[in-house]
Chains A and B, each alone.
Chain A
């Protein structure tokens, strides 16, 4: 290939003949379906999350806790005391999972395609508004590089959520296996899968090493990296599954709080 490197400065790709303009393409399959689908479901879930965090309790007075189950949108150490009634205590920690998901490599791909049409689909023309393209080279999208910071915080939050889920099996009234605990357990398992399959985590655990075999610690990290790489291959599945599950569990807990449902439980 090459023996000597030269400078890339100024080597701009000469113009091709690709059709330009929004939607210009020779594709005749239904390329619009995927971005519409992704865009729709993402919007539904985000709108519900906003509703749950900002409206359920402050506006409708529906508690975020029922039967010893705490909505996964809320962190357990935030009691809500001292908060003005119009402000949801969920906001204290919610920015962490929001930041984590917004900067997630999978969700970036999803919303760049679905909402920014950048690109709407492969080999499909883009709106002319994208004239001066700099994407993750400049603000605001350069901030996506902070994903790992949200990862660190998300791991802490995940550990707290695990404690919360385990304690939901042991409310003050005595041990029980309730549908709520099982749902919370399923949710936290999916969340753990989502966080464990994170690209940044895979990198930090072993991906950044050049030599896997050079030391015992590196060999251990390589083993962990291989496991995380296996999970990472399905990162998109974990991302969606954990997003749906968190919303479903939240709805369930709010229905319990409203008295619409009664939690079926085996008391021990």
Chain B
């Protein structure tokens, strides 16, 4: 491996290094091979060594080292673009806005799930190579690109916003105080870093699916909405398997939008599920008031009759006004 480089050395050689134990499952690399890249040396200045995960899914994957000239304010994505432009034009990187808003450029930098466009080189130790890997929790496609489509499949299982069926949109009213806490959840840029770092999705093969923190955030935003009528607690318990989350907070630690995922979304949802399923006092209270049964335990959401999608007339709409097109279930106001 190359050590810290001297000024003027930038991009002169690209070294294919031995795969570390991290890539042990990924197959052998062409260890030790040195590729001379016809790249110009930049003006004298500091260089950083980027150790980038390369390869196609299911084939040899390896780490390759690139010496990149460092400029002030440079982020890891800039360095990857420099590599694309000067040393490895075929490097696959997903990105879009370069402003930490599209959520495309997620990767693992030195083992930490990060947005590469928001990770400054000046915050990293340039004396060591900077490892850049794809999000490891998702199937690999090529280089730094992974297949995150499973997340979209999970998203489609959540009962959309369900306003009262008999209330026209022009009559919807709420106060700012009612939606303050929801606005935090709407900051989500779907970068999936929280899904990537969540140990349930990353390290465990569970018997049943776990929806993951991103979709607990979305569900919290719907459940706490002042005019939403659906009850997603059976879904959270039985299908989203919120019980798999052990509130260890890694999702909160990596969220680039600083959403307090665990404290403000997951724990409040766990408490709502406990209201419904695990509170003997509330159960006794409901029995006394003759308000049982509520929903049958384990009833699957969405609440489309017979599990069928809504009639053709129901227009899928954008999130935020995504009426389900079916009569919503009756909302049971919580006794205080």
Contact = CB atoms under 8 A, between A and B. Distances in A.
Nearest to B63: A26
Given A136-B243, A217-B336, A221-B336, A5 B159 contact: yes
B108 A26 contact: yes
A113 B253 CA distance: 14
B203 to A, nearest CB: 5
Contact of A12 (B140, B146, B206): B206
A214 to B, nearest CB: 8
Interface stretch (A122-130, A165-173, A253-261): A122-130
Contacts of A232: 263
Interface in A193-222: 199-200, 203-204, 207-214, 217, 219, 221-222
A7 interface: yes
Interface in B204-258: 204-212, 218, 223-228, 235, 239-241, 243-250, 253-254
Contacts of B175: 212-213
B112 A126 contact: no
A108 interface: yes
Interface in B309-333: 309-310, 314-319, 322, 324
A123 B112 CA distance: 7
Interface residues of B, number: 105
B274 A145 contact: yes
A126 B249 CA distance: 16
Nearest to B275: A208
Given A112-B246, A122-B254, A136-B245, A5 B157 contact: yes
A133 B206 contact: yes
B45 interface: no
A122 B250 contact: yes
Chain B interface mostly: loop
Contact of A207 (B235, B246, B268, B322): B268
Chain A interface mostly: loop
A112 B245 CA distance: 11
A211 B226 contact: yes
A125 to B, nearest CB: 6
14 contacts: A2-B155, A2-B160, A5-B301, A7-B300, A13-B150, A17-B139, A112-B246, A118-B248, A123-B111, A123-B202, A130-B204, A136-B246, A207-B271, A212-B178
- 3 interchain residue pairs of minimum CB distance: A3-B316, A26-B111, A27-B111
Interface of B: 20-22, 24-26, 61, 108, 110-113, 128, 131, 133-140, 146-147, 150, 153-160, 174-175, 177-178, 197, 199-212, 218, 223-228, 235, 239-241, 243-250, 253-254, 260, 263, 267-268, 270-275, 277-281, 300-302, 304, 307, 309-310, 314-319, 322, 324, 334, 336
